[in-house]
Structure 1
């Protein structure tokens, strides 16, 4: 997440940006081992466990904002559409998970790709998908 200054600006810490200079949000806390245990390893239950931990519950929801996870911004700059986006994402995932069987192609070895200042999953990974004969749950008639 980066921005270009459209006019000279002085940040709260005194740093001055001139017109045309770029600033980038520090996403390092999202992969900081002092914040999240084994942050670079996928853990599908990480935030579920946080929900049951006093003091961390408020940070564990998809739409939560905090200095540790700024995917939806934070403070007065928090994305007002994050609740809609979160619900849409959950609906799409429910549809995909309930109606299709998915797997990576046999023998595929995962690799990370550099993406800007961070890393992304392999965009060229091949997936095999098959529509289920009978969905796990009929989600079309809710």
Structure 2
């Protein structure tokens, strides 16, 4: 199984920030996690609001924990709100049921890690995560 290097994580973050700039988004915070949910890299743009690091990590870590994007977790929360709400206290890094967290996979489809982006609308956060992953040569699930 492969891994996400620090260099790839930094390329991903830079490209995601560039996408945010291109779209004129609010300041973003981006976390890149390995397959075990451990932080590889995190950057927070100037002006990003407080606790954005925890939100970005929660989007990515929640995606890894459930094996689906944080967008899908948001959909699950509509269908089964009690279930999703019960996960926050048992997931060490939290869970954020809103788009912006995607799983990154290797050529064999196995998870390499995840990225979580927060700061603007969830759709825009996800667009930046996808743009960053593509720039780093990483596929999303």
Normalising by structure 1, report the TM-score.
Answer: 0.24
Higher relative contact order (CA 8 A, sep 6+): 2
Computing the radius of gyration over CA atoms, which structure comes out larger, 1 or 2? Answer: 1
Give the TM-score taking structure 2 as reference length: 0.24
Task: Name the structure where helix makes up a greater proportion of residues.
Answer: 2
